[in-house]
Structure 1
């Protein structure tokens, strides 16, 4: 059990602003996710850089993180936060990576944190492709680090969370596409829509499988009205851009 001082606990406490936020759910289709992967591969080829491992969940986190930073930078009240580093903390499943392997029927916790970080100005670059590559590469590198599981990673995770909170409130994730929340039936049918309302308090983004079963991913996010408008426009522009590129291919 980890003990904390009051000062340390205050760093993890969310401000009481949930009532003034808007909660919205967005769906990224399988076609959009494939287009994101293609865009990232194109930037890697153009730069002559290694191709990040861009899975569907990495692609989802990459574009949502990018739009979240763009929305924050577009907020005139956050003018003093345009520079510095952005942090994204999300969990990874270690069950299949343990030695010996944890049985598939194990229902307890077996996750570890991934720490992605990148300069805000690179994430919000004028060339959206470059910003997308930045977020995707940072997220993929964070997963690789967690999978390696070197002693320094396990020993320093608490300090890294505190460091991320010191720079700015880190972006984080609630839920998982692996939970299959739309398959849950407690006797009165499957849910029509699932929302993790705690994101309005924590500032996280929720993740779940596409309720239609078409292979997409749903994300939920809560923001103040003005910032939600900016985030919604940014994501809509990105999805239109990805959709047009997938049709061309």
Structure 2
């Protein structure tokens, strides 16, 4: 990673066109009106303002690329993909005649907003925006649309850059989780490339999600925060976003360091998967980069919270193709002073806590009482101790395979982490078995994180 970049001029975003793309018809006829009730997993994300996942895919284009044809093909393939994923073209609403029953409602004529925009002036060079180096969030955030008012579930934006194209995606989390939304993107990719072996169609039947005691929906409806309770994060002018890559070899060395430290302490080693190793390594670096790092905070707890897909763990199991939410929260604390230790100590403590979070989350998914505890544990962690780091994305989503008809993306950013404070996780674009992690911090914090990361990597291999 190089020095923090702050010298770029502010590019200007101009909206050229906004189109409503409807699902392609079935046998020449429009899809019928339909409604899907929200499950207890969906209700967890029903807040105001909505919880949005906002990604930007950067695609490099050749100098002679026919941009007009590319944009036209994008809308045509989007319509094809929406045929199977038609609920995403609908709206979130309160079911008529009820006080607290919410649903995804689709009717003929509904569609997804597709915006075509253009970044102009010298600050919009493709290579400067599609970079791992620190860049101002204010430059990349406009590339991802916000959801239109009225309960929209999906919005898309194609922004023409000098040297490339940025495809921005915004999804309402109450409609589906990350696994579902990226399956939709792969379906769009298959339509755009004409692939014969696209992903199987989604399963929309909400009956496949079993409410273990029949009361979880009502429990989470009552636990929903009000609009006044929702924190609205205001981004500072120096908020940055950067990407850090852990190679397959780096991850393996984290596992070995953790095992060696466990032996030195005479402790049982945690189950250190590649995901545990990545989360633990980044969490320890992140803790050392905090504004109050180095202060005498003692053993004050700090938390890591990340999603766990429960499809295979539900009883009965939920199909992988299910379109909706089926994720729970894995949450665990670690003492701040131990987590912030340089060297093997901080990494060991972090990985031990991450492994414990997974074990607890996996073991408790079939217990209604454990599921009910998610909201209270999350609230306690959010207000107690030294704060909480959350996670967005997953290497399993294969975002670098989303070819929309003009090649694979050169870079993928989850820009919504700038407001949520999460780390963004993705597969390594080089297909080398590593992982990419996006971090958003203010300038001073980013410099400290870079220093921690750059010092820690050589330590792993010494």
Separation in 2 of the partners of 1:103 and 1:111?
13
Measured on the aligned residues, the alpha-carbon RMSD in Å equals 1.9
Q: Normalising by structure 2, what TM-score? A: 0.49
Separation in 2 of the partners of 1:195 and 1:157?
28
**What secondary structure is seen at the aligned counterpart in 1 of 2:461?**
helix
Residue 63, structure 1, aligned to residue 281, structure 2:
yes
Separation in 1 of the partners of 2:389 and 2:369?
22
Q: Which has the higher contact order (CA 8 A, sep 6+)?
A: 1
- Structure 2, unmatched stretches of 5+, are 1-42, 44-220
| CA distance 1:5–1:105, shift in 2 (3 Å) | closer
1:4 to 202, 225, 234: 225
Q: Which has the larger radius of gyration?
A: 2
Separation in 2 of the partners of 1:163 and 1:57?
25
**What secondary structure is seen at the aligned counterpart in 2 of 1:72?**
coil
1:161 to 378, 401, 409: 378
Between 27-36 and 92-101, report the one with greater CA deviation.
92-101
Q: Normalising by structure 1, what TM-score? A: 0.89
| CA distance 1:173–1:238, shift in 2 (3 Å) | same
1:40-95 CA distances to partner (integer Å, 9 max, x unpaired)?
Answer: 0011111221111111111110011101110115558xx58675111111001111
1:25 to 233, 240, 243: 243
Report the equivalent of 2:303.
Answer: 87
Separation in 2 of the partners of 1:194 and 1:166?
31
Separation in 1 of the partners of 2:345 and 2:232?
32
Separation in 2 of the partners of 1:90 and 1:81?
24
2:408 to 190, 195, 207: 190
Report the equivalent of 2:312.
Answer: 96
Separation in 2 of the partners of 1:68 and 1:147?
26
**What secondary structure is seen at the aligned counterpart in 2 of 1:194?**
strand
1:107 to 323, 331, 351: 323
1:100-129 CA distances to partner (integer Å, 9 max, x unpaired)?
Answer: 222233233211100020110110125x21
Aligned residues: 238
Larger helix share, 1 or 2: 1
Residue 123, structure 1, aligned to residue 344, structure 2:
no
Report the equivalent of 1:247.
Answer: none
Separation in 2 of the partners of 1:38 and 1:225?
33
1:41 to 259, 265, 270: 259
1:209 to 402, 406, 427: 427
Q: How far off is 1:160 after superposition?
A: 1.0
| CA distance 1:174–1:202, shift in 2 (3 Å) | same
**What secondary structure is seen at the aligned counterpart in 1 of 2:405?**
coil
The 8 Å contact of residues 222 and 228 in structure 1, kept in 2 or not, is answered as: yes
Larger strand share, 1 or 2: 2
Report the equivalent of 2:66.
Answer: none
Report the equivalent of 2:20.
Answer: none
Separation in 2 of the partners of 1:144 and 1:61?
15
| CA distance 1:165–1:43, shift in 2 (3 Å) | same
The 8 Å contact of residues 310 and 327 in structure 2, kept in 1 or not, is answered as: yes
Q: How far off is 1:6 after superposition?
A: 4.8
Q: How far off is 1:151 after superposition?
A: 3.9
Separation in 1 of the partners of 2:344 and 2:267?
14
- Structure 1, unmatched stretches of 5+, are 245-249
The 8 Å contact of residues 14 and 202 in structure 1, kept in 2 or not, is answered as: no
The 8 Å contact of residues 31 and 243 in structure 1, kept in 2 or not, is answered as: no
1:139-174 CA distances to partner (integer Å, 9 max, x unpaired)?
Answer: 100100000114442111111111111124410011
Residue 52, structure 1, aligned to residue 52, structure 2:
no
**What secondary structure is seen at the aligned counterpart in 1 of 2:250?**
helix
| CA distance 1:96–1:132, shift in 2 (3 Å) | same
